[in-house]
Structure 1
């Protein structure tokens, strides 16, 4: 399933004031572009865990998993597939 739109909306709602109206592409690294602040990373992990009912373990807390919409989509799919396989 494709969750990119939900991810885009969450990120769009959490952009820093300077970038509120800036469009983000699915491969844009919003951390490197400084579209978000450091508190955003914690919010993003919380959003992913709650919305998709998955656990983000220490091994997943690599910024490369969270830095673009596409990479976050990939992480969510991996975690959901692993969760489904465990059931």
Structure 2
């Protein structure tokens, strides 16, 4: 499964809205749109570190890096290239 699909599946499995209301694009801000909440951010961070095998640095702990599906994928790909 590709990175984007793994992240989308994880987000969808942790939604705080009803499934029929939870249609989001790759560029939708998942926090602003109310699909997930601040508690989800910690779960997402833990999932990314475990699933993709790297530690997110303090400099990368910016909500912008985790706000959209595309931004999350960019963060992961950046770390994969650095490895």
Q: Same fold (TM over 0.5)?
A: yes
TM-score, structure 2 length as denominator?
A: 0.92
Runs of 4+ aligned structure 1 residues displaced above 4 Å come to: none
Partner in structure 1 of residue 19 of structure 2: 20
Partners of 1:75 and 1:8 lie apart in 2 by 15
Across the aligned residues of Structure 1 and Structure 2, the Cα RMSD in angstroms comes to 1.0
TM-score, structure 1 length as denominator?
A: 0.88
Partners of 1:19 and 1:34 lie apart in 2 by 11
Q: Deviations over 1:27-73 (max 9, x none)?
A: 01000101111110000000000000011011010000000000000
Larger-gyration structure (1/2):
1
Gaps of 5+ in 2: none
Aligned residues: 81
Give the secondary structure class of the aligned counterpart of 1:28: coil
Gaps of 5+ in 1: none
Partners of 2:6 and 2:24 lie apart in 1 by 13
